[in-house]
């Protein structure tokens, strides 16, 4: 598992704890330096039984490499999350 994949695993757990019951993440994308995901909110059920959802936005996280100045990637993600959620 790469460093960014480990960070994404950490991020998924942290963000899911904050989103609550009717919001969730989807469409995770990444490369070796950053990742992004979309937050969706369940707003009902269509007549066909398919979930009806709306996008709350696409979020991208790019950690700084200088851990001495910015903190670990996990600490940076927590700070980033605190600003947004």
- Average pLDDT of span 17-46: 95
Mean pLDDT on 45-60: 94
Residue 4 has pLDDT above 90, yes or no: yes
d(CA 12, CA 17): 9
Q: Give 48's pLDDT tier (boundaries 50, 70, 90).
A: very high
Q: How many residues does the chain have?
A: 85
10 pLDDT more than 90:
yes
pLDDT of residue 18: 94
CB atoms within 10 A of CB 4: 18
User: Is 52:37 a contact under the CB 8 Å cutoff?
Assistant: no
pTM: 0.87
Q: Nearest 5 degrees, angle CA 60-CA 64-CA 68? A: 150
């Amino acid at each position: 598992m790469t460093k960014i994949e480990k960070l994404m695993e950490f991020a998924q757990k942290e963000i899911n704890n904050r989103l609550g019951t009717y919001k969730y993440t989807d469409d995770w994308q990444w490369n070796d330096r950053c990742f992004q995901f979309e937050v969706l909110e369940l707003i009902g059920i269509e007549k066909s039984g398919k979930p009806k959802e709306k996008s709350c936005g696409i979020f991208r996280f790019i950690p700084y490499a200088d851990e001495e100045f910015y903190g670990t990637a996990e600490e940076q993600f927590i700070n980033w999350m605190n600003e947004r959620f």
